[in-house]
Structure 1
Amino acid sequence: MNYLVIKCGGSVLEKLPESFYKNLNDLHHSGKWKPVIVHGGGPLISTLLTELGVKTTFVDGLRVTTKEVLDVVEMVLSGSVNKQLVNRIQKAGGSACGISGVDGALLQAKAMKNADRLGFVGEVTHVNTDFIDQILKQEHIPVISPLGVDEKGQKYNINGDVAASAVAKALSAELCFISDIEGVYRKENGITQTLHHISKTEIEQLIEEKQITGGMIPKVQAGIEGLSGKVEQVVILNGLAENSLIDFLAGKEVGTKIFADGERYSV
């Protein structure tokens, strides 16, 4: 069986149709795939921070995380979003186990280099794959909240795309980012088109041109980072499109596939 790491962005979670969860469960029961979910929750975090009167800002698509913000992030991701996602999977006929990256030191982390600007935002240093395999052996789909912890017990807010990439690298998995758009867009001569294939150099160029902005920046960068390991395929998919996940695994041209420089791809 093959591992399939699926990152569900916070902006799309409330919109995903029941068919997405049915497809997910069908893959899990097929015997060919071992799906592992990593989720976000940005919009809900922002909403609660606003309600609490806590200021929130972003640097290159990453949320600046003070201790106060970190408490809210953990409350929303692990206490609310994670369990809602588990519930949706189970309502569609599957079985899921929701965990935080803090549980069992699943996602060991350290502060990012620019911690002076970002606060308690972490990068993953090690993934406890044995923990993931234990859940899969019990026929549950792991649903991971992207928080990490260091050897001193300090918790970190980890961008969901970054966490998903780290998990995919550790498992040598296929990596799929589920969004509410068709993929990476490029605007040329006033016409916007979806790029079905994109390389590391093209990504860097589009970021420089400010055609890739905001939360899409860590997503595409996490995709490239995944390819630096043993991740064979990385794709950004529209989870609202019927059967997009199934179509991708069947080799159909959907979403935006990310390739390392020098790799060939078929159009």
Structure 2
Amino acid sequence: MFVMKCGGSTLAALPSSFFEDMKQLQDEGIIPVIVHGGGPAISDTLGKLGIETEFVNGLRKTNEAVLDVVEMVLSGQINKEIVRKIQLSGARAMGLSGVDGHLIQVRPVANAHEVGLVGDVTHVNAELLQGIIQMGYMPVIAPVGLGADGGQRYNINADTAAGAIASQLGVERMIVVTDVPGIMKTVGGEKIVLPSITVQEINDMITSGEIYGGMIPKVRAAIQCIQGKVNEVIIVNGSEPQVLSRVIKGEVLGTRIVK
């Protein structure tokens, strides 16, 4: 078992061979727990509905109107699209959100006065996920959770949710599937993929400008996944042939971020 985090737009663009690789892993008894995001699709739908959206320190400011759209897009559109693609490969998947079976319990984030209904994970119903896995299904999880009273929904950052789920399942490794080959560094005038890097080295490279632009949120998101028992996060390009199988078998691909 391993946890895989992927953005909704990245998963939608992946070739069918990626999902066939997942089927191969499932046949071998290695079942991924998939946590997905969907930021661009949420923003697009909010725009079409004329609902304003803004971000505060990387978190979407969420009121009830925004939350309705977040849940509709994540738990409905994107979650079911991923499940369909997995099932088309012949694999078995079950889509759910953190609301189902009280899967993810949260408390309001520390800066809730700024961002509204955004939650930090306090508990994951690992028994429910293990039951789904024992039945032979891949859980596909949309990051929406419930407060302690079970009545209030909360938007959860997908990377935070993935890290918490991996930690409470006791998984040591998380795979983050993106559209880039890993963290790049210029050495002798040539760009190479760094096979391994620490959190401190990432922060140093951001400060020096070696990590810039769209890569900054990707690496910061990966760092968020290193929680509890999760000792390493591997950033890989999902279009690489059989990328999941190769990483699971120990091949050095992408970039390992270690504690």
| Fold similarity call, TM over 0.5 | yes
Q: Partner residue of 1:148?
A: 145
What percent of counterpart residues are identical?
43
1:4 to 2, 8, 12: 2
Further displaced range: 210-219 or 14-23 = 210-219
User: Would you say the 8 A contact 1:62–1:215 is kept in 2?
Assistant: no
Distance 1:187 1:62 in 2: 31
1:53 to 47, 50, 55: 50
User: Would you say the 8 A contact 1:148–1:155 is kept in 2?
Assistant: yes
1:69/1:27 CA distance change after superposition, 3 Å: same
User: Would you say the 8 A contact 2:41–2:73 is kept in 1?
Assistant: yes
Q: Partner residue of 1:97?
A: 94
CA apart distance, 1:114: 1.3
Q: Partner residue of 2:184?
A: 185
Q: Partner residue of 1:13?
A: 11
CA offset digits 1:71-122 (Å, max 9, x no partner): 1100000011111111111100011111110111101111111112222111
CA offset digits 1:199-257 (Å, max 9, x no partner): 0211222344463565325412223x33xx22243201111111111121121221110
Distance 1:212 1:130 in 2: 40
CA apart distance, 1:188: 7.5
Look up the SS of the partner of 2:31 in the other structure.
strand
Letter in 2 for 1:16: L
Q: Partner residue of 1:65?
A: 62
Look up the SS of the partner of 2:176 in the other structure.
strand
1:190/1:169 CA distance change after superposition, 3 Å: same
CA offset digits 1:164-193 (Å, max 9, x no partner): 111110112221111111122346798654
Q: Structure 1 unaligned runs (5+)?
A: 261-267
Distance 2:16 2:88 in 1: 9
Letter in 1 for 2:147: D
Q: Partner residue of 2:218?
A: 216
Q: Structure 2 unaligned runs (5+)?
A: none
Alignment of 1:232-247 (within 5 A): 232-247=231-246
Distance 1:217 1:64 in 2: 22
Q: Partner residue of 1:231?
A: 230
User: Would you say the 8 A contact 1:61–1:217 is kept in 2?
Assistant: no
Distance 2:245 2:3 in 1: 14
1:194/1:171 CA distance change after superposition, 3 Å: same
Are 1:35 and 2:32 counterparts?
Answer: yes
2:129 to 120, 124, 132: 132
Distance 2:221 2:82 in 1: 20
Please report the TM-score for the alignment, with normalisation by the length of structure 1. Answer: 0.88
Distance 1:246 1:240 in 2: 13
Q: Partner residue of 1:263?
A: none
Letter in 2 for 1:7: K
User: Would you say the 8 A contact 1:41–1:76 is kept in 2?
Assistant: yes
User: Would you say the 8 A contact 1:165–1:222 is kept in 2?
Assistant: yes
Distance 1:86 1:253 in 2: 28
Look up the SS of the partner of 1:251 in the other structure.
coil
Further displaced range: 94-103 or 178-187 = 178-187
Look up the SS of the partner of 1:97 in the other structure.
strand
User: Would you say the 8 A contact 2:33–2:139 is kept in 1?
Assistant: yes
Distance 1:114 1:30 in 2: 44
User: Would you say the 8 A contact 2:92–2:136 is kept in 1?
Assistant: yes
Are 1:110 and 2:102 counterparts?
Answer: no
